[in-house]
Amino acid sequence: MKINENYLRLEESYLFASIAHKLAAWKEANPRREVIRLGIGDVTLPLVPAVTEAMHKAVDEMGRQETFHGYGPEQGYSFLREAVCGYYAARGTIIGEDEIFVSDGAKSDLGNILDVLSLQNTVLIPDPVYPVYVDTNVMAGRDIRYLSANRENGFLPLPDQAPRADIIYLCSPNNPTGAAYSREALRRWVAYAQEHGALILYDAAYEAFVCEEALARSIYEIDGARECAIEFCSLSKTAGFTGTRCGYTVVPKSLSFGGHGLHALWLRRQTTKFNGVPYIVQRGAQAVFSPEGQRQTRANLDYYRGNAALLAGALQARGVWYTGGKNSPYIWMKCPDGMSSWEFFDYLLERAGIVGTPGSGFGPGGEGYFRLTAFGDRGRTEKAAGLLKEIL
């Protein structure tokens, strides 16, 4: 018996452990000072009433003989897939119900999709990046090439700067940088993928934060994307489902490589290795897409947007360069005075009691940058904005 040695090649991430360690030491030295956490990548507002009501009802159904549900369809219940189709259609994007695969979140599918793609493919990953894309490919043993996201390209690299690769990861609005691609920029990526026979894995976990008209909510807003892209969506950040677990992945039937449709392979993979998302959770997810659920979740998104605007306002007032904040819950700022990411972490904690996330934790390209999140509560975010104006 031999282990998968690729796991030994994974780089240990000390990011969140180091943050916790530094914070604990600081608290011990400053027992009376308040900590403001702007580092969390998790939502804080509870599920909206439309969702919890639907889930309560589903729980009761599960407890009655006539309405009990056992195994459901691996792809997800039709009621939820129809609701997702309706959500796309309302924005003018037509997706077939059977092209939607309900999942327990985007992270699982982003990793699992690699099952149906050859190990011989090279992978293109932006730097800095959400670490899941890198680690899942290291685990599989694929060759990774990096694409520099930087201040010059607004942290939105384009294909003319890219090394050749077969699989391309794009995340927009981006975690960690908050930057979001315009339709025009995505058109260039789709054209590039078509020209080179590459596949785009498009992470749209933050699509609901997009408010500017020129920015895409889905890669399928671009002609030709149905022939070269898979889209990963999640209710985690858009509807507070980080602990409830539900997402959906769109695999168009028109996606074909070497004469083989990816849809059929993915369906086969899912029906073999996945037994679906709980009925109760899918009823909750369906309620997100109801008119009431949409109204209520929009109010939560507006709350986070308000937080982001406060933080962005403080940076603007001090002339600090940043991306994000408008179409994303993340703000990605340049550390002042040439500080490194960790130097600024220490400075911010010491001077203001604010905890953020060092950009270098998302890849070498993040060095010298810092991520702030809008997922905190309003009062503390207001206080943080005031402190930032004082110390920057």
Ligand X SMILES: *Cc1c(COP(=O)(O)O)cnc(C)c1O
Q: From the CB of 132, what's the least distance to ligand X, in Å?
A: 7
Which residue sits closest to ligand X, CB atoms considered? 105
Nearer to ligand X, 266 or 347 (CB): 266
Nearer to ligand X, 104 or 166 (CB): 104
Q: From the CB of 316, what's the least distance to ligand X, in Å?
A: 25
CB 108 within 8 A of CB 314: no
CB 283 within 8 A of CB 140: no
Q: Torsion angle, CA of 120/228/219/109, rounded to 10 degrees?
A: -40
Q: Which of 292, 75, 275 has its CA nearest to residue 284?
A: 292
Q: Which residues have C-beta within 8 Å of that of residue 370, sequence separation ≥ 6? A: 332, 333, 334, 335, 341, 344, 345, 348, 356, 357, 358, 359
Ligand-binding annotation for 334, yes or no, is no
Nearer to ligand X, 244 or 381 (CB): 244
Q: Taking phi first (over 0 means left), then psi (-120 to 50 degrees means alpha), and beta for anything else, what does residue 141 get?
A: left
Ligand-binding annotation for 248, yes or no, is no
Ligand-binding annotation for 107, yes or no, is yes
Ligand-binding annotation for 347, yes or no, is no
Nearer to ligand X, 103 or 341 (CB): 103
Nearer to ligand X, 328 or 360 (CB): 328
* Side-chain-side CA neighbours of residue 17 (13 Å): 3
Ligand-binding annotation for 318, yes or no, is no
CB 336 within 8 A of CB 320: yes
Binding site for ligand X (CB under 6 A): 105-107, 130, 171, 175, 203, 205, 234, 236-237, 242, 247
**C-alpha to C-alpha distance for 159 and 1, rounded to whole angstroms:** 43
**C-alpha to C-alpha distance for 72 and 26, rounded to whole angstroms:** 49
Ligand-binding annotation for 14, yes or no, is yes
Query: Quick one: tokens of 76?
Result: 């997800």
Q: Torsion angle, CA of 329/334/336/340, rounded to 10 degrees?
A: 110
**C-alpha to C-alpha distance for 74 and 44, rounded to whole angstroms:** 30
Q: Which of 310, 305, 334 has its CA nearest to residue 321?
A: 334
Ligand-binding annotation for 303, yes or no, is no
What backbone phi and psi angles, to 5 degrees, belong to 151? -60, -35
What backbone phi and psi angles, to 5 degrees, belong to 315? -65, -40
List the end-to-end C-alpha distance of the chain, in Å, as a whole number.
Answer: 56
Q: From the CB of 324, what's the least distance to ligand X, in Å?
A: 12
Q: From the CB of 303, what's the least distance to ligand X, in Å?
A: 18
Q: From the CB of 234, what's the least distance to ligand X, in Å?
A: 3
Ligand-binding annotation for 307, yes or no, is no
CB 151 within 8 A of CB 365: no
Nearer to ligand X, 236 or 385 (CB): 236
Ligand-binding annotation for 311, yes or no, is no
Nearer to ligand X, 357 or 360 (CB): 357
Ligand-binding annotation for 133, yes or no, is no
Nearer to ligand X, 76 or 105 (CB): 105
Q: From the CB of 86, what's the least distance to ligand X, in Å?
A: 20
Q: From the CB of 96, what's the least distance to ligand X, in Å?
A: 22
E strand or H helix at 143 = strand 143-148
Ligand-binding annotation for 206, yes or no, is yes
Nearer to ligand X, 72 or 111 (CB): 111
Q: From the CB of 235, what's the least distance to ligand X, in Å?
A: 7
Q: From the CB of 284, what's the least distance to ligand X, in Å?
A: 14
Annotated binding site for pyridoxal 5'-phosphate: 71, 106-107, 130, 175, 206, 234-236, 245, 275
Annotated binding site: 14, 41, 71, 106-107, 130, 175, 206, 234-236, 245, 275, 371
Annotated binding site for substrate: 14, 41, 107, 130, 175, 275, 371
